[in-house]
Chain A
Amino acid sequence: MPEQLIFAMEVTLNGLMTGVMYSLVALGFVLIFKASGIFNYAQGVMALFAAMTLVGIQEGRVPFSHLINAIFGTEIYDFGWDVPALLAILLTVLVMVGFAFFVQKVIFKHLVGQEPIILFMATIGLAYFLEGVADLMWGSEIRTLDVGLPQGINLAIDETTFNWFGYGFFIDNLDIVATIVAAVLVAGLVAFAQYTKQGRAMRAVADDHQAALSVGISLNFVWILVWSLAGFVALVAGIMWGAKSGVQFSLSLIALKALPVLMLGGFTSIPGAIVGGLIIGVGEALFEFSVGPLIGGATENWFAYVLALLFLVFRPQGLFGEKIIERV
């Protein structure tokens, strides 16, 4: 087999894995948009906030310690204990549920019935507010995230592909874990939406919130539920991305990688977020591999958008989005 073809296969596999990482971020956007029609600009910052909270709890750090010390002249930075990873994750989920309550009660409850652009602007404000709170709460330093995820080359794949092609493929163990987590997450979300009372209420609100209201479904409850789920997805994305780079403020920029995925997969489809992520991941990796060296490289960021725009021209609602026909 030609060497370049073998390399292209390795690049494709890695592109698929990277695509799963993009999908993890895109899922949070889809959940909120599907249920409430809100394009949540703050999703990337939610991933940052969730990851920072997780590390803060794990390390036993006192939230808002700089503020407390500045006001009261104290020197308290940590509680002096370490929290096990699983317990810290559970506590972070609780914080994200609390955040969902806050968002619904303080912001979106008062904006019911407003134009989508107003709701979008509110999420921009929320993003900057949350970034500031995260900074005040946990500081700006880079933190190491250690929840026991494996990293580094998968030796089994390396050996197997070496035996087949005479060249061992590199696949990161973290990417394999991310793929399994994404599959479980999507299966869980679909099962929740299909087989639980709360999930059915969520779907009813997504289809027609006025009709859902008329049969006694609490819009308030469903929106809190949806923001909580999006918070949970943000935590998962924050853990996966944070394990690669450490937990730091650039984590919020991962949202930029989710936008082309949403444009391609559609804003209202969970499978669309997955398939869109895979197409973007593979597309940008193969483009960088084949064309990148000829034009100076670093094509991933812009090529993802070119790919999404191409799909958009032929299918504006995205691959799996709902086609909206408005009669006049």
Chain B
Amino acid sequence: MKKLLTLTVAGLMAAGPAMAELVFPSLSYRTGPYAAGGIPFADGYADYFTLLNERDGGIGGVMTRVPECETAYNTERGVECYEATRGEGALVYQPLSTGITYQLIPRVTADGIPLHTMGYGRTSAANGEVFEWVFNYPANYWDGASVIINYLLEQNEGSLEGQKIALLYHNSAYGREPIRTLEILAEEHGFELVQLAVDHPGQEQGNQWLTIRRERPDYVVMWGWGVMNQVAVQEAANIRYPMDQFIGNWWAGAEHDVMPAGADADGYLSLNMNVLGDLPVFDEIQQYVHDAGLAAGDGSNLGSVLYTRGMYAAMLAAEAARTAQEIHGVDQIDASMMRDGMEALEITEERMEELGMPGVGPAFEVTCANHGGPGMGRIQQWNAADQEWVTLTDFIAPDDSVTQPLIEEDSMAFAEESGIEPRDCAM
């Protein structure tokens, strides 16, 4: 009898209408050696969706839900998190890890769930004709490398001929991503590229900085993450390398990357894909989320570099979901509709202003062929006295004539080895 009753209740529950919600899983890392970067990003991501729920009643009247799964920046755990959450009606994944991204690309393609890797992951996924389910707007690694070189060109009256640039990189899939682009740019602009790999996690860099001291490169470009960044900034200070000739990419330019070195970090440069500053949306997050006791973290990260980027990532996801609702004329969208929304996403200056984050990123449109966005970045500089980043430049565009052929070549090679027939976006 008891068994029959249980089965009946279970049957009724299964037959009943599912509660409408939009699910945005967060594959976060709040523990382990990379937690310092993972926490503010995850907080920003979750808090923005909470704001939408509390202030607007969700997106298009449908509440959002952000189930978090801890990956500890570990690829295997990232895949486990994907498997554990995809059945919950996941609309899009943002794993904040290039290693996890590489493992998820074939899975999301088979399962029909979009993957958004903003400024990380597989760069050639920008080619939407091959990577139908993967998006990396508004910028990718190769764009980042090119933007840094364009900035240096600007600083050197348009020529880097005969100069020496050292690339200090995390010895991982992530760290190795910009090498090819920089090699081509070195050939094109006549500078020498010195490559210096740093092993995980990056606490040991003594030999690399001794090499930098001996080689005396004109600039050091860093592709770092986690403890590697803090140690590198300290080591640069130790050998008295000029901080304004040391440029990190956008994953090596958060407050916690420079603060341990104190005043010695003053003048350090880094790339950023989003704007910093006192955005009006922060007041709303404070009011509707933090003051209401609904913050994902302790509230101390609000407005920081990576919190802002996590919030920006959430905003792009929410806007894509809204676009999908409009395209399909329904409020409750599925992953396939979400993909359509991402592919038709249009971010304008007016929309960013409306959302309380004017100019947080560049205005851009995603298309069937271009999943990568405009690829622009800004250069910021650390002011140790005021403990804040100062934006030095407007958005700088990458050199598409270098990055596009690389994207084409790499994505076509992937299509061939994976047996993918590229879509014809001109149709």
Residues of A close to B239: CB separation below 8 A? 153, 170
B415 at interface, CB cutoff 8 A: no
CA A245 to CA B30, docked complex, whole Å = 19
- A7 and B216 CA atoms in complex are apart in Å by 14
Task: Report if B226 contacts A (CB, 8 A).
Answer: yes
Band of interface residues on B: 35 or more
Q: Please, which residue of chain A has its CB at the minimum distance from the CB of B172? A: A298
* A18 is an interface residue with CB less than 8 A from chain B: yes
Interface digits, B1-36 against A, CB 8 Å rule (1 contact, 0 not)?
Answer: 000000000000000000000000000001111111
Give chain A's interface residues, CB within 8 Å of chain B. Answer: 7, 10-11, 14, 18, 66, 69, 73, 77, 131, 135, 139-142, 144-146, 151-153, 170, 172, 241, 244-246, 248-250, 252-254, 257, 285, 288-289, 292, 296-298, 300-301
A249 touches B207 (CB 8 A): no
Stretch at the interface among B57-65, B195-203, B358-366: B195-203
Asked whether, in the complex, the Cβ of B207 is within 8 Å of the Cβ of A300, the reply is yes
Q: Are A248 and B259 in contact (CB under 8 A)?
A: no
User: 10 closest A-B pairs (Cβ-Cβ)?
Assistant: A246-B260, A250-B33, A298-B197, A250-B227, A297-B197, A298-B171, A298-B199, A140-B35, A142-B256, A301-B199
In the bound complex, CA of A271 to CA of B230 (Å) = 32
The A-contacting residues of B in range 183-234, CB under 8 angstroms, are 195-204, 206-208, 210, 213-214, 226-227, 230-231, 234
Q: Which residues of A contact B171 (CB under 8 A)?
A: 297-298
B51 within 8 A of A: no
Summarize A's interface: helix, strand, loop or mixed: helix
Query: If A151-B234, A297-B196 touch, does A170 touch B213 (CB 8 Å cutoff)?
Result: yes
A245-B32 in contact (CB<8A)? no
CA distance A292 to B196 in the complex (A): 10
- Residues on B with C-beta less than 8 A from A11 are 207, 210
Q: Which residues of A contact B30 (CB under 8 A)?
A: 140
CA distance A288 to B199 in the complex (A): 12
Known pairs A141-B36, A245-B230. 18 more at Cβ < 8 A? A11-B210, A66-B298, A140-B31, A142-B36, A146-B262, A151-B264, A152-B238, A153-B239, A244-B234, A245-B227, A248-B35, A250-B202, A285-B207, A292-B207, A296-B197, A297-B171, A298-B171, A298-B197
Across-interface contacts of A292 in B (CB, < 8 A): 207
Give A300 to B211 CA distance when docked, in angstroms. Answer: 14
The CA-CA distance from A325 to B293 in the complex, in Å, is: 64
A301 to B198, CA, bound (A): 10
- How long is the Cα–Cα vector from A302 to B250 in the complex, in angstroms? 29
CB distance from A24 to the nearest CB of B (A): 13
A253 to B214, CA, bound (A): 29
B262 and A144 contacting across the interface, CB-CB below 8 Å = yes
Q: Is the CB of A245 within 8 A of B203?
A: yes
B residues with CB within 8 A of A: 30-36, 39, 171, 195-204, 206-208, 210, 213-214, 226-227, 230-231, 234, 237-240, 256, 259-260, 262, 264, 293, 298, 300
Contacts of A10 in B (CB 8 A): 210
Can you report 17 residue pairs joining A to B where beta carbons are below 8 Å apart? Answer: A14-B207, A18-B204, A142-B36, A151-B264, A152-B238, A170-B213, A170-B238, A246-B227, A246-B230, A249-B31, A249-B33, A254-B203, A285-B207, A288-B207, A292-B207, A296-B195, A300-B204
Q: Is the CB of A153 within 8 A of B234?
A: no
Quick one: closest A residue to B213, CB to CB? Answer: A170
In the complex, the answer to whether A18 meets B227 with C-beta atoms within 8 Å is: no
**Nearest CB of A to B286, in Å:** 14
Chain A CB within 10 A, most for which of B195, B206, B234, B237: B206
Q: From residue A78, how far is it (CB to closest CB) to chain B in Å? A: 12
How many Å lie between the Cα of A18 and that of B206 in the bound state? Answer: 8
> Which of these, A18, A172, A285, contacts B238 with CB under 8 Å?
A172
Measured in the bound complex, the distance between the Cα atoms of B235 and A14 in whole Å is: 13
For B203, list chain A residues within 8 Å (CB): 241, 244-245, 250, 253-254
Alpha-carbon distance between A135 and B213 when the two chains are bound, in angstroms: 37
Q: Give the complex CA separation of A77 and B297 in angstroms.
A: 13
**Residues in chain B near residue A131, CB distance under 8 A:** 31
Cβ B210 vs Cβ A245 within 8 A: no
Could you tell me the distance in whole angstroms from the C-beta of B240 to the nearest C-beta in chain A?
7
Q: Which residue of A lies closest to B293 (CB)?
A: A73
Question: Given contacts A135-B31, A296-B197, are A248 and B204 in contact (CB under 8 A)?
Answer: no
Which residue of the partner chain, among B31, B32, B234, B256, contacts A141 with CB atoms under 8 Å? B256
Q: Which of B36, B207, B210, B237 contacts A248 (CB 8 A)?
A: B36
Q: Chain A residues near B260 (CB, 8 Å)? A: 142, 144-145, 245-246
Complex Cα–Cα for A257 and B208 (A): 18
Neighbouring B residues of A144 by C-beta, 8 Å: 259-260, 262
